[in-house]
Amino acid sequence: MHCDPRFSRVREVFERHFADGEELGAAFAVYLDGELVVDLWGGVADRHTGRPWERDTPVFAYSCTKAVTAAVLLQLAERGLVDVTAPVAEVWPEFAANGKAGITVEHVLTHQAGLPALEEPVPVEEFEDQPAIAARLARQAPLWEPGTAHGYHALTYGFLVGEVVRRVTGKSVGELVSAEIAGPLGLELWVGAPDPVIERTARLTAGERGRLVTTETPPPGAQPDGEMADGAAADGAVADGAAAGGPERTTEAVAEMTRLALDPGSLMNRALGNPAMNLLKGGANNPVILRAGWPAAGMVTTARGLAGFYRALIAGEILRPETLQDALRPRVKGPDRTLYLGTSFGLGFMRPSMTFMVRSPSAFGHSGAGGSIGVGDPERGLAIAYVMNKMASAISGNLRGHRLLQAVYDSL
């Protein structure tokens, strides 16, 4: 392991999480101005066998995938192959059905398309057939007028963007990640892992039972409209669905999210639960899921690989600086129709909000179920990633990543 002395506080926080029993296995990596200053890993990759977490142990990182998928599409836009302001139906004619002719690629990237959930249950047989799943979305009508509201497209984001990519290039997002990003840059990052990688992938395990499962976590003091409260505690506790000591409306917002999470018919659960990974033995640990490469939640990566992706992004090695700058301009901000809490998005990238727990206004990236997170911060020259295999099943659980991020910023 490596930790620059300037970031000793980060190592202390990382080790404390293990000492306190909050982690099973995890890794954390930080680049500062292109230099790898933190590269930490530890614990157990598989609690059943006791296999240790090694330097090159990858893990499934859920929605952290979305940022990588956005980069793939933006590369195509730079080459003139995709116009993000144009209707999706220009490259995917069938998509125009049921009142969707006006939905643009930008609507999809910013969760404004009105298609946050698949209406038809996706059978297991289609889990590795992304065009078939996309065809189901092409038959649907939007739940709201596209462009008038936003709601997190937890899984459908990937099938929609992936089909646009496939129609333009004939290749999957995963194939382009390998050929255009991970391969040339030497990153330990796969959207659709090959069998040798699957064999050494860490096995996800559940956290505490009986508490709310969420995709992203509100930092203490966050506001439901997507803003951070002034003076919010950096490492305060959020427990049992309420922001301890936070503003009253934050408590109410989180309580409402809790209620929605416990309602099987809520839009939140419909968005998160179809295709249903739990239909397969082991859920996200199943090789079918690890191979499938869903562009919204299908990435297998190390912390070093994910941080390296953000290092390359802010260095201009994946996208031109002007392309990234435009992509980071927030297109939507405020209450999210799917998650209820505040979200903010540029073109596929999360911006600081109640559901993206980064205090720096120049930060961007994406978080994922269970607590994983990837962050880039151009103004500070930072690229950061945290991955783990003990899934947070309480709102408070994702504070592991938040504490590590705060320790990085405190160390500067």
- Write out the catalytic residue numbers: 63
How far is residue 7's CA from residue 11's CA, in Å, rounded to a whole number? 7
Q: Is 248 exposed, middle or buried (0-12, 13-18, 19+ CB in 10 A)?
A: exposed
Query: Taking the CA of residue 246 as centre, how many other CA atoms within 13 Å lie in the half-sphere pointing to its CB?
Result: 29
In the chain, the amino acid numbered 364 is F
- Scanning 302-398, the segments in alpha helix (DSSP H) are 303-314, 321-327
Burial of residue 400 (CB within 10 Å: 0-12, 13-18, 19+) is buried
Q: What element of type H or E holds 38? A: strand 35-46
Distances (CA, A) of 12 to 18, 39, 228, 397: 10, 13, 26, 18
Q: How far apart are CA 343 and CA 218, in angstroms?
A: 10
